[in-house]
Amino acid sequence: MTPASPEPTILTPTGDALDGAARALRAGRLVAFPTETVYGLGADATDDAAVVRIYALKRRPRFNPLIAHVADADAARSLVEVDARAASLMARFWPGPLTLVLPRRPECPVSLLAADGLPTLAVRQPAHPVALALLRAFGGPLVAPSANRSGRVSPTTAAHVAAEFGGTPLAILDGGPCAIGVESTVVDLSGPVATLLRPGAVTRDALVACIGRLDAPTATDRPRSPGQLESHYAPSLPVRLDATAARPGEALLAFGPVDTAGYSEVFWLSRDGHPGEAAARLFAGLRALDRDAFCAIAVSPIPETGLGEALNDRLRRAAADRERESPGVPAGGVI
Ligand code: TXA
Ligand code: MG
């Protein structure tokens, strides 16, 4: 399982490859794997050294906590306190693109480094068959942030992961392109009021229909999700939102029946204006257009409804001014 070359190795997820990946994880190594949202960079959640390796490889601020991925709801119940709201959400949306932040149980074996010593832990049961097979083969919780360097665009193919971590001997299980394409919805249920920390494919309306009430996080909510770091999902080129006419040298991320005249290149998020299709193609599109040949990436307007909230959230952060905030070099230091 240890790749001989110092480069990432993309593996077809056969039974043997999954067993090898589980052994590598038990030995404290990192394994990248597909989920239905984006690719994750997995480590044994109970192994301090492996967790530190994730932060180091991603160059991620240590105050930014990780999600513990579990094989089923019972596994989540052994880690965190599941109240009635959480039970309803788990029953309705798991396995799937919903992460719940809940109080840690006293006996929770997940490394405290994974959540910067917080009394809470984020848990999610992913729906991708390869992710579930890996979790079952490993037999415990896996922490897995998106498999990109901190602050950069999340990966939705195995090749994206390999491109992020060139020069690193990392095993990557190939599950094809991710069907959803934006990271899971994150809901904080650790207090009396449920708050939406990160919009995703489980929409605000779907959450409210299930648990009745959902607030926006306040400025004092800790920790800040990277979704709350202003500049994130950042390509190298500037990003211009709500573009309705071309400027010289721009490439376009196009959505719906828009006029593409004058752009140097066009990447269609969705010709029909379908938010689900656009989400699945968003990060691939940002990567495809992020080239020196252009001076900026323009983006067509996208309605804020349903999955549009998650799309616009990621696009606003991709467009945010990087001078003011540099998530890759945080004040809190990197481990
Ligand atoms: O779809 C996804 O969630 C992907 C796949 C791989 O599962 N993972 C992912 O992980 O996006 P990451 O680390 O890139 O994002 C985790 C999000 C961050 O916004 C983080 O701040 C938040 O979850 N989070 C994790 N633990 C938390 C906690 N205890 N309290 C509040 N927010 C938390
Ligand atoms: Mg991420």
Assess whether the C-beta atom of 309 lies below 6 angstroms from ligand 1.
no
Assess whether the C-beta atom of 51 lies below 6 angstroms from ligand 1.
no
> Measured in angstroms, how far is the CA atom of residue 145 from the centroid of ligand 1?
6
Cα 86 to chain centroid, rounded: 21
Q: Whose CA is nearest to atom 15 of ligand 1?
A: 145
Looking at residues 316-327, what average pLDDT do you find?
67
Of the listed ligands, the closest to the CA of 145 is: 1
Q: Which atom of ligand 1 is nearest to the CA of 227?
A: 19
Q: Which atom of ligand 1 is nearest to the CA of 60?
A: 13
- Can you state the angle between helices 84-93 and 204-211, rounded to 10 degrees? 130
Tens-digit pLDDT profile for residues 206-253: 999 999 989 887 766 555 555 456 567 789 999 999 999 999 999 999
Looking at residues 181-189, what average pLDDT do you find?
97
From 111, 146, 229, give the residue whose CB has the most ligand 1 atoms within 8 Å, as the site to mutate: 146
From 62, 186, 198, give the residue whose CB has the most ligand 1 atoms within 8 Å, as the site to mutate: 186
Reading the block at residue 329, the tokens are: 């070099």
Assess whether the C-beta atom of 195 lies below 6 angstroms from ligand 1.
no
Assess whether the C-beta atom of 121 lies below 6 angstroms from ligand 1.
yes
Q: Report whether pLDDT(196) > 90.
A: yes
Whether the full predicted model's pTM is greater than 0.85, yes or no, is yes
What the chain holds in terms of domains, given with CATH numbers, is 9-211 (3.90.870.10), 239-319 (3.40.50)
Closest CA to 144 of 135, 152, 153, 136: 135
Residue with tokens 């593996």: 11
Of the listed ligands, the closest to the CA of 104 is: 1
Tens-digit pLDDT profile for residues 97-116: 999 999 999 999 999 999 98
Burial class (CB in 10 A: 0-12, 13-18, 19+), 280: buried
Q: Whose CA is nearest to atom 31 of ligand 1?
A: 223
Q: Report whether pLDDT(329) > 60.
A: no
Q: Whose CA is nearest to atom 32 of ligand 1?
A: 225
Intra-chain end-to-end CA distance of the chain, in Å? 26
Spatial distance between the Cα atoms of 305 and 78, rounded to a whole number of angstroms: 36
